Structure 1
Amino acid sequence: MVRIVAAVAAGVTLAVACVPSGVLPKLACAVLDASCPTGQSQRGSLPQVTRLTAVQVAQGGMYVALGDSYSSGEGVWDLDNKPLNDGADRCHRATGSYVPLVERAYRFGGGTAFYACSGATTAQILSGQYGQKPQITRVGPATSLVTLSIGGNDAGFTKVLTACIVKLPWSSACVEQDAAVSRRIDELRPSLLKVLRELRTRAPNARIIVLGYPRPFPKDPEVTVDNLSAEDQNWINGMTRRLNDAVGSVVSDFDRAIAAFGAPGSAEYVDAYEAFTGHEVGRPQPYLNGLNVNVEELKVNARSYHPTGDGYRRFAELITKQIAAGPGRPMNNFHVSAP
């Protein structure tokens, strides 16, 4: 009786891990010490089951790039003169983003779909912007890799920066936003989880890679930049860290759940907080655009505080390395070959 229960338990475990039921007779023979034929059976050889590597999983289907301005290429949009696809002009999708670089680094069996949109929130990933189809609808069963940057607009970082920059030099209006920003970051967690669940529903076998945000100012700022004092810069750095930690914890918890059930696919977080170290705003060769104002129109250019071309190339390095490294655990995606 104990052996029968053990066999059943082992069968359930294999089923959850997506192992074909064709291997179960062989397993039962081993566990129950039954007298089973070896080698060729009357029906021929059993199919071969191979666990896929992280790279094989990523390359097996379509690469879909979603997210906000840090993925769309806002920082280099006004330098672009090549239309990408429908809605690129509204969403500021640029060829200078990291997405085309990742596309060139790997050969994706189903091609690439690039639909990140500047200004996107977690809710707009699901509902759409500017009359365009929701980004989430670009993901389907054939999707094998999703990259995503999201959360900055939920936290209201654009408005936060604006309030910090336009304040009077001696004002504390920047750091006084702490409670409001912290609340919005806490509220981001359930909405990000909703996005991850929808991605899994649509593409249950895919790897989902979520990219964090870089620290915008030096670790120990010493000079005022764009009307931002050292105290202001430290506070903005701290809020960026808090946002990244919130996003990273949601993604990590989600992947642990995937692994616990032995399910295929993954959710992976890339912490970009230190990625621009030595190249922050105010440095000689920044990877982030500083404040850019059209003096004639008295209008701030949208590329302000978004990655430069070098910044997007650095993002591409992070993503391509993550694709190669995988989630830090075995993938539960399998290839079944005919006997």
Structure 2
Amino acid sequence: MGSSFAAGPGLGALQDNSPLMCARTIDSYPQKLARAARLSLVDMSCGGAVTSHLYHGGQLFQGPQVRVVGPATRLVTITVGGNDIGYIGDLSMLASRRSPGVYGWLVRHLWVGPKAWADRDFARLDRELGEVFGAIRRRSPAARIVVATYPTILPPAGTCALLSISAAEAQAMRRVGDRLAAVTAAAARRARAAVVDMYGLAAAHHACSAEPWVSGWTNGGIAPFHPTQAGTTATADAIRRAIAHQQL
């Protein structure tokens, strides 16, 4: 999961960065939200984005994502931060160590392992989220900012075959997911942004559940540990409920 960055109405239905380079899907939650709420959309979602790409740019030779919002923007949705602290990346690498074939062999022999807790710079993430919110406020003072946290990926305890990681690895990464959700929500609330707590809402829909909102490793295809169609729909619906009382 990279960033998700949607705005409307009044901006026109356009995309400002490359869908191909960014591996963007037409079924992401910003796209579903825009269709359901009949909003014009500028979709800046980009796989692999870190928080600084939103306000500083530099991803795939692109400018800052916030460049597309302006005084007419009324809604901005954001999900970002997991790449900053190595959440999805480390889950994928941990799982790929158990994969057969050349790639699994390379990871087992060349990857040094997941980041140490001290190397996951949550303080920097907190600061950079503040920079994003500040940049949006300056460019779009009338916009409602909605921050959707990452959905729950791991079960509350243990592991399952779909994850391809051990119980100990799952426990360590669960701690990362908990902290990511907490830091994101706290930074958003300080900026007076609305928080849609998908980490909490998806607690019963983790990758090992009967009705998952995220994929695991073995059933994840090209996007393991990312939202399923049910997950993106649930996120779009949750955001719609959060803004239902607003005049957009």
Q: What secondary structure does 1:216 align onto? A: coil
Give the TM-score, by structure 2 length: 0.80
Q: What secondary structure does 2:26 align onto? A: coil
Corresponding residue for 2:240? Answer: 320
**1:105-156 CA-partner distances (Å, limit 9, x unpaired):** 3244xx2211111111111112142233421111111101100111111112
Q: Shift in Å at residue 251 of structure 1? A: 1.2
Q: What secondary structure does 1:210 align onto? A: strand
Aligned: 1:71 with 2:1:
no
Unaligned stretches of 5+ residues in structure 1: 1-67, 73-82, 256-266, 294-299, 334-339
Q: What secondary structure does 2:42 align onto? A: strand
Corresponding residue for 2:128? Answer: 191
Q: In the alignment, is the contact (CA less than 8 A) between 1:151 and 1:188 conserved in 2?
A: yes
> What RMSD over aligned residues (CA atoms) do the two structures have, in Å?
2.9
Aligned: 1:106 with 2:37:
yes
Q: In the alignment, is the contact (CA less than 8 A) between 1:218 and 1:281 conserved in 2?
A: yes
State the alpha-carbon separation in 2 of the partners of residues 115 and 222 from structure 1.
34
Corresponding residue for 1:42? Answer: none
Q: What secondary structure does 1:147 align onto? A: strand
> Which amino acid letter does the alignment assign opposite residue 69 of structure 1?
G
Moved more, 277-286 or 314-323: 277-286
Q: What secondary structure does 1:69 align onto? A: coil
> Which amino acid letter does the alignment assign opposite residue 85 of structure 2?
A
Corresponding residue for 1:157? Answer: 87
Q: Shift in Å at residue 86 of structure 1? A: 5.0
**1:285-336 CA-partner distances (Å, limit 9, x unpaired):** 422122149xxxxxx954111111111111111111111256xxxx9x9xxx
Corresponding residue for 1:244? Answer: 181
Corresponding residue for 1:276? Answer: 202
Q: What secondary structure does 1:274 align onto? A: helix
Q: Percent identity?
A: 28
Pairwise mapping of residues 43-192 of structure 1 onto structure 2 (< 5 A)?
69=2, 71=4, 86-108=17-39, 111-126=40-55, 127-166=57-96, 177-181=116-120, 184-192=121-129
- Picking from 151, 156, 168, the partner of 1:219 is 156
Pairwise mapping of residues 200-211 of structure 1 onto structure 2 (< 5 A)?
200-211=137-148
Q: Shift in Å at residue 238 of structure 1? A: 2.0
State the structure with more CA Rg. Answer: 1
Where relative contact order (Cα < 8 A, 6+ residues apart) is larger, the structure is 1
Q: Shift in Å at residue 163 of structure 1? A: 4.1
Give the TM-score, by structure 1 length: 0.60
